[in-house]
């Protein structure tokens, strides 16, 4: 993996974790009702789930690109 690809991967994970939605509201609700530690743990769990989701999505896109010989995967 090149540095540029790794940075793009990190940017995608950061974007997925930072976008407002049900996950962000879960963290906020945990912070308000149960305190910082519970909110932090919820955020870690959500970030880990987002990392798995983005990784699987990218692996699927790479598989499609290799199957149909798109872009840099064509020979």
pLDDT over threshold 70, residue 73: no
Q: Against a cut of 0.75, is the pTM above it?
A: no
Structural domain for 11, as ranges: 3-69
Tell me which residue has tokens 């743990």: 41
| Residue 45 CB neighbour total at 10 angstroms | 13
Asked if the structure places residue 75 within a domain, the reply is: no
SS3 37: helix
User: What's the number of domains the chain is made of?
Assistant: 1
Asked if the structure places residue 74 within a domain, the reply is: no
Asked if the structure places residue 10 within a domain, the reply is: yes
Tokens at 49, concatenated: 């789930």
Asked if the structure places residue 18 within a domain, the reply is: yes
Asked if the structure places residue 9 within a domain, the reply is: yes
Asked if the structure places residue 26 within a domain, the reply is: yes
Asked if the structure places residue 47 within a domain, the reply is: yes
SS3 32: helix
**pLDDT given for residue 44 in this prediction:** 93
pLDDT digits (tens, 9 = 90+) for 8-64: 888 887 887 777 889 889 999 999 999 999 999 999 998 899 889 888 998 998 888
């Amino acid at each position: 993996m090149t540095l540029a690809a790794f940075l793009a991967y990190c940017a995608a994970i950061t974007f997925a974790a930072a976008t407002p939605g049900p996950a962000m509201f879960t963290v906020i609700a945990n912070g308000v009702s149960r305190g910082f530690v519970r909110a932090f743990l919820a955020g870690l769990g959500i970030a880990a789930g987002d990392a798995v989701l983005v990784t699987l999505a990218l692996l699927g896109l790479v598989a499609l690109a290799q199957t149909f010989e798109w872009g840099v995967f064509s020979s």
